[in-house]
Structure 1
Amino acid sequence: MMLLINFLLAAPVFPQDLTTTVLGIPAELKENANSVIRNQEVSVEIKSISQMVIKTLKTITVFNEYGIRNIDAVEYFDQTTTIKNIEAIVYDSLGKELKKIKRKDFSDYSVAGDASDVSDTRVLKLNYTPTEYPFTIVYQSEVQTSNTAFIPTWYPIDDYFESVQRSVFKISYPSHLGFKYKEMDFGDKKIVKHETTNSLQYSIENLVAEKHEEYAPSKPVHVLFGLDKFMLEGVEGSAKSWKEFGLWMNEKLLKESTELPLETQNRIKTLVANETDPLKKAAIVYRFVQNKTRYVSIQLGIGGWKPMPAKNVDRLGYGDCKALSNYTKALLDVVGVPSYYTVIYGGERRDILEDFVSMQGNHAVLSLPYKNKMIFLECTSQTQAFGFEGDFTDDRVALLIKPEGGELVRTNKYIDKDNAQVTNGKIVIHEDGSMKMEAQISYTGIQYDTMTRFELLPLKETKDHYKERWSYVNNLTIDDLRFVNDKENVKFNETIKISVPEFVKKTGADKMLLLNVLNQNYKTPQRYRNRKKQFEIDKGYYDEDIIDIELPQSEKVIAKPENVNLETKFGTYSTEILFLEANKIQYKRKLLIKKGLYSVEEYEEFRKFREQIAKNDNSKLVLQSNK
């Protein structure tokens, strides 16, 4: 009996709340999980048009180093947002308290990352280095803000390899402010919703972790919230319709910000004096802005949304996307070319939502109406061709801010063959098996956009990148590399010379010669036994290669790959080998990949298509000596 008593006394006493121990996690939530959200409660209370309180309670168990990023114990603050409370407690796997973390233990730093950022926003973030896995963190915060333009979005799950045991989002609001919400990508998720006249609650339980699948479109479950009447940095706003929202932006954020010094006005008039076509005038103005200004991110109070006055940009020579777009617009006004300040999502392709009027977008560009179409100008780039958008802003819904109100438009698309890489090259094989190659490569569309960054990089960095890109060719040396950015025709031209010793590989009495030197697609999509999601080819493109190969007189071709012609719904691929003369061969290759959204059932067919491309791109000629 005494032994039993001693054992019971020595055994750990588990806490009442099983959310701080791994014992309370169902087995199915542990599978494929780097972390599990045990309990998350977010409460948003909109007290008035200028007062909102956000309370967060989050309990998360972390199984490994990859799950640490899901802790998300972070809050932002500035002159209009105050962190009233922030703290955390860390527990071991059995629920024993390891550490209390108070406000003073959180890292406090500015969101301005480098010299090109200017911001008054700061962040408090928990940076915890664990001594053991698994561990559990209980995190709590309370934030108060006078801005009601941006209400937190509910994301019950926001990462792969993370399970959710319970997540609840509550929001209350005065009914006269015009509260609204939009549910996105619920699918078959079992979400419980409870709504009253001035409150709304969502909850979900036992969401199992999902693995990442290649080419899967990113569509997380979430709910957006907004108000028809809101406050932004002390400025009252209205968002009942996009037209009304655009009027508000024009009157409160843009109006009276386009004044320019008389000297600058006269200078820009002189520059365009010999032009009558508005598009050519706009191109001259655009180049003037590129040569005079540089991009600096500015996020100071209302300046995070209101452009810096054009006269200040003119004097300082810098600005953020809002300021530079507004400055370009001011210059165009001077020479009589109409344009519109435009709000857009830059980066990941995302639309301004037509049926949910609210503060949306993270970027500003300038729109130029011309002959029944719209030209979009990226005013932050010092190198981009006039009228070229690139994949940062192409093919998405944007909001034009006109004097008469807001108007939604879709930006231009670069589809499939628009995004071309065309290579013409010559390879000379020497008697010792070494090779020299010279190639001219031209890029258009999104492939143009990808290449323009190289003209600004140091040559060594560019060469290192190319060597990694062509890592399948051993001991490759780049002898010469030249770029020409043809902005008039929106084409990037490249001339490259390379050499490779021992390029021809001996295999017994025969020798092997690689045909595709510069443009191999050697990676194949991952195979899935039971894929869950449909897949998306986000960007289509077209490659065409014509390579002349000159062999030594002492070598003859004894075997070559068969010509290939593949046609699928995802694209086409073909190769052809022509004998021009006794020792001269021409290798032709064409690859078209089509943008599109495809079903789960079609994925394996796509994977096999890419697998065949990878196999054929590694094809070789077999040579034999004439001696």
Structure 2
Amino acid sequence: MYKPILFALVVICQLVQAQDTSYSSLTLPDALKENANAIVRERDYEVKILSQKAFTLKKREVVTVLNEKGMRNLDLSENYSPSLKINSLSVVVYNALGNEIKKYRQSDFKDHSVSDGFSIATDDRVLYLDYTPIGYPFTVVFESEVKSTNTAFLQPWAPIGSYYESVQKARIHYLYPDDLKVKVKEINFEGHTIQKEESAGKIMYSIENFKAEKPEDYSPPFYDIFPMVRFALDKFNLEGVEGNADTWPSYGSWYYNSLLTGTDELPDATVVKVQSLVKDAKTNVEKAQKIYEYVQNKTRYVSIQLGVGGWKPMLAKDVDRLGYGDCKALSNYTRALLKAVGVESYCTIIYAGKDTRDLTTDFVAMQGNHMILALPDEKGGYLFMECTSQSNPFGYQGSFTDDRYALLIKPQGGEIVKTNDYNNRKSTQITTGTVTIAEDGSMRGVMLRKSAGFQYSNSEGIELKSKKDVDEKYKEEMSWINNLILEKYKFVNDKKAVEFTEELVISSPDYVKKSGQYQTLEVNVFNQTHTIPTRYRNRKYPFEIARGFYDEDTIIIELPKGYKIESLPESTILEDKFGEYRLSLTLLSPEKIEVKRSFFMKKGLFEKTDYENFRKFREQVARLDATKVVLIKA
């Protein structure tokens, strides 16, 4: 009869012992669990710079995953390549009590090529652990050490990895020899308690007890909010090519002389061909347009990342022969073709993506993830060419590389410039149309819409879609129209004017809502916005309208015979620092009304104290866009 008691005592002793371990999830502070899917118990990096040509990086990360979504916070991988060697790699998994479940050595990791889906050649590979948990919470201890000969890229410190992640302790420690200078750029430190220790040959940053945060509507990009430290050497090594980054002019000069010089040679036959192609062009811009279209028709984009080829373009003559290349290769190939017809242009390094991310202009270092081509225009500025696109109009960037700081690589050195923007009233959508309402409540509408600037890209590629896909697009876009039928459509993509035109004929058998002798009609047929930003009791961050635009709509609505409008709403004007909205209804005849609507949103970064007013502004816009009138029998 003593065995059950003895067994219970053993279990209790094991539980107590487990709770005393440093890997128990039970001892985590409640404050760090709030809003968290995962908690970083420890994130410790040590970077030891051995020379201009080598450094080692030791990582130790202890992460407690609280639920299934927290698996996104777990990175159990390490990259390697001919210039990046893995010295050691291991993972140990612990259960909620802190008891060890499983230990994994480097031989347990899977080996895979690093491919983006477009790469035809890459020597980058990754070792990763494909771990499936048996329950939550659990804790992982990840440890690795790598050695790199590429000192052009040093490990940054981003202690907060994502939203919904708490950080109990994070640290980065740099050690470097006296003959090398480590440059440091601290970003987004305001509002955070970050410790810094610095002495000869050493620098260390740390943060403790950072509570998980939720994303907020219209927040600036993550990298513009959370703290980060960037590190760089004035003198570095890139795949065996030594360089310096003291100033942007000197960096640009190094890049041009070390990575671009000698890559622009073309076959004689190609030179003759393109010179004939542009013989009637009168300006450099006209020549460039013909060359750009030639490249679009001849080449396609693929990714090639072999050694220094990750940064040095492949030879222009090879692109000419093969008909493909990555962003660097295609930009450089276009540059070579323009040079062959006497037009100067410049390869341009940039951060590409839908978020307008700038190069850090006051921190000279290897930056960017993309290359485009800059052409001096006749007004003293630049036209920018996206050479990887087979469909972009000449000089059009869209949201991929617009409105951000970039680096021109010139023979005489680097130059920071800002790419063109399509903000505010440069980005337009002008809609005209007629709508006929039948007595049975059905509707038939004819719409003509012209989009330019940023909004040009809203319909990019639609002319190539199937009828089914086009139907689905407009049913989703005009979701307020019940049983929408797309009877006819026609698209005109004017690449010269950079304007996209949509001509639609639509109908709905029950657009008007009936109630006895009354009929309710929504007057804004073609362009409604229903998005209302989320309400926050205590908003933490500023908010950003990333891109401005201007919409203008004019619709003539013909009412069914024998009906009239009970009353017309008064014209409305909303004006605020965020933009302007106007709506007016005019009775042209007893059975015909004109609806005029305009909506201007202004790009900008605003204080968090302005957010509630912005939310109310958008709420009013959504309400006015759903304006209804009542039809009664005359």
Superposed pair shares fold, TM > 0.5: yes
- Residues 324-355 of structure 1, C-alpha deviation per residue, up to 9 Å, x if partnerless? 11011111111111111111111121222222
Alignment partner, residue 396 of structure 1? 404
Residue from 341, 366, 369 that aligns with 1:362: 369
**Structure 1: which 5+ runs fail to align?**
none
Alignment equivalent of 1:261, drawn from 258, 261, 267? 267
Which amino acid is 1:606 matched to? Answer: F
Which residue matches 1:166? Answer: 169
Show the counterpart of 2:315.
309
TM-score (ref. length: structure 1): 0.97
Q: Is residue 19–residue 97 contact of structure 2 (8 Å, CA) maintained in 1?
A: no
Give the 5 Å matches for 1:242-257. Answer: 242-257=248-263
Aligned to 2:325: 319
User: What are the equivalent positions in structure 2 for 1:215-614 lying under 5 Å apart?
Assistant: 215-218=218-221, 219-347=225-353, 348-371=355-378, 372-614=380-622
**What is the alpha-carbon distance in structure 1 between the residues aligned to residue 344 and residue 7 of structure 2?**
87
Question: Which residue among 131, 142, 146 is the counterpart of 1:143?
Answer: 146
1:98 maps to 2:110: no
* SS at 2:312 equivalent: coil
Q: CA RMSD in A?
A: 1.7
Q: What is the correspondence of 1:117-128 to structure 2 with a 5 Å cutoff?
A: 118-128=121-131
3-state SS of the aligned residue for 1:391? helix
Tell me, what secondary structure is at the counterpart of 2:461?
A: helix
Is the deviation greater in 543-552 or in 173-182?
Answer: 173-182
Percent of aligned pairs sharing the same letter: 48
* CA contact 1:19–1:38 (8 Å) conserved in 2: no
CA contact (8 A) 2:152 2:233 kept: yes
Please give the per-residue CA displacement for 1:510-551, whole angstroms capped at 9, x wherever unaligned.
111122222211010000111111111111111111111112
Query: SS at 1:36's partner residue?
Result: strand
Q: Deviations over 1:335-387 (max 9, x none)?
A: 11111111111112122222211110111111111231111111111111111
Deviation for aligned residue 1:559: 3.2
CA distance in structure 2 between the partners assigned to 1:612 and 1:69 by the alignment: 37
The question of whether the paired residues in 2 share the 8 Å contact of 1:341 and 1:401 is answered with yes
Cα deviation, residue 506, structure 1: 0.9
The answer on 1:8 being equivalent to 2:13 is no
Q: Tell me whether 1:58 sits opposite 2:61 in the alignment.
A: yes
| In 2: Cα distance, 1:101 partner to 1:25 partner | 25
The 8 Å contact of residues 151 and 226 in structure 1, kept in 2 or not, is answered as yes
Deviation at 1:454, TM superposition (A): 2.1
Measure the CA separation in 2 of the matches of 1:293 and 1:67: 42
**Preserved contact between residue 239 and residue 357 of structure 1 (Cα < 8 Å):** yes
Moved more, 151-160 or 80-89: 80-89
SS at structure 1 position matched to 2:566 = strand
Residue-by-residue CA offset, 1:67-105 (whole Å, 9 max, x unaligned): 111112221111211222222121111112222233344
Aligned-partner SS, 1:614 = helix
Contact 2:253 2:414 in 1 (8 A): yes
CA deviations 1:213-263 (Å, max 9, x no partner) are: 111113220000001111111211111111111111111110011111111
- Residues 48, 272 of structure 1: CA spacing in aligned structure 2 closer, same or farther, 3 A cutoff? same
Change (3 A) 1:190 1:4: farther
1:615 aligns with 2:616: no
Q: Name the amino acid aligned to 1:398.
A: A
* Range that drifts further, 493-502 or 585-594: 493-502
Compare 562-571 and 478-487 and name the one that shifted more: 478-487
> Distance between the aligned counterparts of 1:280 and 1:251, measured in 2?
29
Q: Deviations over 1:545-566 (max 9, x none)?
A: 1111112213221134332110
Answer yes or no: is the 8 Å Cα contact 1:386–1:487 preserved in 2: yes
Aligned partner of residue 14 in structure 1, secondary structure:
helix
Change (3 A) 1:495 1:104: farther
Which range is displaced more, 555-564 or 327-336? 555-564
Q: Structure 1 595/422 Cα, relative in aligned 2: closer, same or farther at 3 Å?
A: same
CA contact (8 A) 1:425 1:547 kept: yes
Cα distance change of structure 1 residues 106 and 455 upon mapping to structure 2, 3 Å threshold: farther
State how far apart, in whole Å, the 2-side matches of 1:110 and 1:469 are.
40
Report SS of the residue matched to 1:282: helix
Residues 462 and 18 of structure 1, relative CA distance in 2, 3 Å threshold: farther
- Once the two structures are TM-superposed, the CA of residue 6 in structure 1 deviates from its matched residue by 5.5
Distance 2:362 2:178 in 1: 20
Q: SS at 1:43's partner residue?
A: strand
2:483–2:508 contact (8 Å) kept in structure 1: yes
CA contact (8 A) 2:31 2:211 kept: yes
Shift of 1:120: 2.0
Structure 1 stretch displaced more, 609-618 or 49-58: 49-58
Pairwise mapping of residues 35-74 of structure 1 onto structure 2 (< 5 A)? 35-74=38-77
Q: TM-score, structure 2 length as denominator? A: 0.96
AA of the residue aligned to 2:585: I
Distance 2:159 2:148 in 1: 23
Letter in 2 for 1:572: E
* Change beyond 3 A, Cα 1:127–1:518: farther
Change (3 A) 1:513 1:305: same
AA at the equivalent of 1:537: I
Matching residue's letter, 1:10 = V
Q: Match of 2:207?
A: 204
Moved more, 605-614 or 297-306: 297-306
Q: For 2:460, what is the secondary structure of its paired residue?
A: helix
Amino acid at match of 2:365: S
Residues 19 and 27, structure 2, Cα contact 8 Å, conserved in 1: no
SS of match in other structure, 1:55: strand
3-state SS in 2 of match to 1:68:
helix
8 Å CA contact retained: 1:19, 1:39: no
Q: How many residues align?
A: 626
Q: Distance in 1 between matches of 2:314 and 2:134?
A: 48
SS of corresponding position for 2:530: coil
Do the aligned partners of residues 17 and 363 (structure 1) sit closer, same or farther apart at CA in structure 2, a change above 3 Å counting?
Answer: farther
Give 1:128 deviation, angstroms: 2.1
Structure 1 residue 300, shift from structure 2 partner: 1.6
Q: 1:154 to 1:535 in 2, by over 3 A?
A: same
Query: Measured at CA, do residues 104 and 460 of structure 1 come closer, stay the same or move farther in structure 2, by a change above 3 Å?
Result: farther
Residues 35, 391 of structure 1: CA spacing in aligned structure 2 closer, same or farther, 3 A cutoff?
A: same
Quote the Cα distance in structure 1 between the aligned partners of 2:548 and 2:473.
23
Deviations 1:244-302 (A, max 9, x none): 11111111110011111111111111111112211111111111111111111221211
* 1:85/1:463 CA distance change after superposition, 3 Å: farther
- Please give the alpha-carbon distance, in whole angstroms, between the structure 1 residues aligned to 2:34 and 2:568: 49
Gaps of at least 5 residues in structure 2 are: none
Offset at residue 183 of structure 1 (A): 0.5
Deviates more, 1:18-27 or 1:245-254: 18-27
Displacement after TM superposition at 1:7 (Å): 4.1
Range 577-586 or range 319-328, more displaced: 577-586
